[in-house]
Structure 1
Amino acid sequence: MFDFLRFMFSFSKESSAHFPIFDDRSLETLRRYLCDYNPPEGCVNRINILLYGMVGAGKSAAINTFLSALDQHGTTTNCVPTGDDLKSLTPQLKAYRLNALQFWDPSGWNALDDADRGKKVLTMILEGRVPPGTDLQHFKPDSDNQYLVIPENVIHGVAFIFNTDTMDNISKELMEQFKDLQTIVAQKYIQRIMIGTKLDQLEIPKKYYHIIYNYKPLQNKFAKFSSSTGMDKNQMFIISNELKGVNIERTKCILALYALENMVRNIDKYFKVAQ
């Protein structure tokens, strides 16, 4: 009983920034909006979302989670190769499309041997000047626009991916690098959010996932990250990228779609206002 009460007291009574609803109707509403989404003219014919994070943060697994959650029956997929070992990861920039949503999976930003080169590579990816299949480890950013913009590859939103279990222990040097990368995205007026992965490692019983954003340890992690990076806590989300069984669990599905829908709606608003 003591352990149960101590656990329950770890949930905050303060108002949370996010209020996902965990029922079948909410799930279908989120899924229908994203699967039937029709991009505004400024996005050509798709929304391009770049998942950007360090090696092992869970970028590829997050894409698998999104694709599984978007499936009509919630059938799990592992079409995107995953792995935590730097040597086992592909250095290529890859794209995975489902209807009007296209997810871009690059190598970890801390895998590049030079921080300045990393910033130039990110800039060119955002501008749509790095074709899918490009080996980012050996890619040499140009300074004379040798690589032309491919309009359908221009990035509209960036989801910065961080391992929730370790995000508050990132070295000062790496955090400074991340702040520079975030600044590049912000200066291009590209919608950005932070997604914390590996929810399962927080060891919260699944029956409490519906109030996950009121979990004090998670709120503290988000607050510390916001203080360190300047990112708005309202643009921080959490998902589980641990897929087991034939179908993705409803709570995990809703958490993923809730984060994705927030980004897509904000991208949509931006382009409609700009038109």
Structure 2
Amino acid sequence: MKLQLAQVDARHPAARAAAAPALRAIDLQVAGGEQLAVIGPSGAGKTTLLQLLACALPPAAGDYRWDGQAPWRLPTRELHRLRGQLFLAPQVPPLPPRQRVVTAVLAGRLPAMGLLASLRSLFYPADIPAAYEALARFDLDDKLFERVDRLSGGERQRVGLARALLSPARLWLVDEPLSSLDPTRARQALTTLVDSARERQVTLVTSLHQVDAALAHFPRIVGLRDGRIAFDLPAAEVTPERLQQLYAQHEDELHGAAAPAMPGEPVPAPVVMHCR
């Protein structure tokens, strides 16, 4: 599975048709099984890029290819089939408040299920052990039969991520997965996502505000600024000077993004101190 963007412009999903593009002249290639993080200041276009990759909005200009196919030129049924091969985790997961956690997690399998099986799963969860195991990876196994509206914001965010582990998708697109998590839960969530994607050879593209977390967990970093790619580099080549340029006039976001490493983990470069 290969993603290719060539000179792509795209507008934010909520933007008017006449609005300026949120992404401009984007050239990007993602190979199957890669894990990369997209970083940049607020308003850089990170969410729009994930929506574009998820075939949730068409390019305003340029060309987007998925394994050589142009998704928006496919018949509607084929486009839906293609979308069934990806998993998009928004920053705020769309979880029905009165739903049980076990049902919410098993919903990750819905794209691979027929209509009758999907309806049955709403009332009779089909694989409770699988849901329990996915939740355990995020330290949420004790919430298996809890109602979603009784969870904290961070717990709901982790339930949304646990869905990915049960999804049949070949592409995971995860938008700001750490926004409601404390540093310990954030490290656990990223480690689980990256390790699971690597084990299953799933392509993982994640947008992050936490720069040090991105550098510590992802081998490839794409920096976005003002709707354009500022750099696309291996994590080891993302220098403090490049980050200072990326976050110029947004230093508060960079300085507030650091998270301490887990015991035994290599400590990432002290980006905050060098950028001052």
TM-score normalised to the size of structure 2?
Answer: 0.31
**More contact order relative to length (CA 8 Å, sep ≥ 6):** 1
User: By percentage of residues, which structure has more strand?
Assistant: 2
Name the structure with the higher helix share: 1
